[in-house]
Amino acid sequence: MLEVEKRKNLVIIKVSGRLEINQALELEDLINSHIANGAKFFVFDLGNINYLSSSGIRVFIATLRQLKDLNGRMILANLSNNVIKTLKIVELDGLFEIVDNVEDAVKILEKE
């Protein structure tokens, strides 16, 4: 399940359940829609994800690249232990900006 909250130029997307191919495609469409409408700053709340597939990881990498081209930024927040473990296994935990909670991520991005 995907829940969206928009604050000024910041989009917060809460992802729940299993982030597999179908939900990853839905997430990608949602992100692209917000980018097309001018959004450049994203927080992804991943606290309720119990499984992160390679399709989900691909969406985050593609989004990171897109936002860098737009001088934007994204932060992953509230990661579950499963998500942290998955990112470490594939050695991508250093690629993403990760914070403990959504509020901290919002504070960081509101300074942009």
Which pLDDT tens digits describe the chain residue by residue (112 residues)?
999 999 888 999 999 999 999 999 999 999 999 999 999 999 999 999 989 999 999 999 999 999 999 999 999 999 998 899 999 999 998 999 999 999 999 999 998 8
Q: Residue 52: exposed, middle, or buried by beta-carbon count in 10 A (0-12, 13-18, 19+)?
A: buried
- The two tokens of residue 92 are 């991508």
pLDDT on residue 94: 93
Residue 8 has a pLDDT of 82
CATH architecture of 2-110: 2-Layer Sandwich (3.30)
Q: Between vectors from CA 39 to CA 65 and to CA 66, what angle results, nearest 5°? A: 10
